[in-house]
Structure 1
């Protein structure tokens, strides 16, 4: 895996942090952590989008963030475990993986658009 795709995974991890933060933040430090997570998430996502196809990057980012958020809610916050929810997340991850596998990583050097 190259560093640009690693940036997408890092951005998705921070997306999970800020989405959970939006729901559970209730004080200065939790809101500060949420805002910092938003900034890091989008900064790293933008950096990845400079070298990789933006549509695929965004789809992978949102898919991983969604899966991570749902799984975190179940594990950390006692959301009900539903097999249908897990199966749909797996279907989402299969689609995201398929997009990543079908996307060429070689973007022309020096392209400024």
Structure 2
């Protein structure tokens, strides 16, 4: 269950990043409120996962999901750069996240 919570927290972290971008420096109310809600929710759900996962593993996976997911969606939706080296780096992040899951005792 902790890994499911961690995945959900990571997805909320992606939503937080996109809402923060949409808030334009928290000058737009609705995206700003969404950013605040998803950010707080992400951290809260991460704290629930930390009840049974090691902090280093959970934090690395949470930030990895957030970083890679935001970068991938940025490329797909916002037209961010899709250079081969950038894609390779994102793949390495995802490989690390999967590796941490595979070697985790929980």
Q: TM-score, normalised by structure 1?
A: 0.86
Unaligned runs of 5+ in 1: 106-113
Equivalent of 1:20, from 18, 21, 28? 18
Q: Does residue 1:45 correspond to 2:43, yes or no?
A: no
Aligned to 1:76: 77
Which one has a bigger Cα radius of gyration? 1
Distance 2:64 2:87 in 1: 13
Q: In the comparison of the two structures, how many residue pairs are matched? A: 103
Q: Once the two structures are superposed, what CA deviation does each residue of 1:8-57 show, in whole Å capped at 9, x if it has no partner?
A: 11000010111122222141111000000001100100000011111100
Structure 2 residue 31 is the aligned partner of structure 1 residue 30: yes
CA RMSD across the alignment: 1.0
Q: What do residues 62-97 of structure 1 show as CA deviations (whole Å, max 9, x unaligned)?
A: 111111000111111111211111111111111121
Alpha-carbon separation, structure 1, partners of 2:53 and 2:62? 12
Structure-2 separation of matches of 1:96 and 1:21: 24
Query: Is the Cα contact below 8 Å between 2:20 and 2:31 reproduced in 1?
Result: no
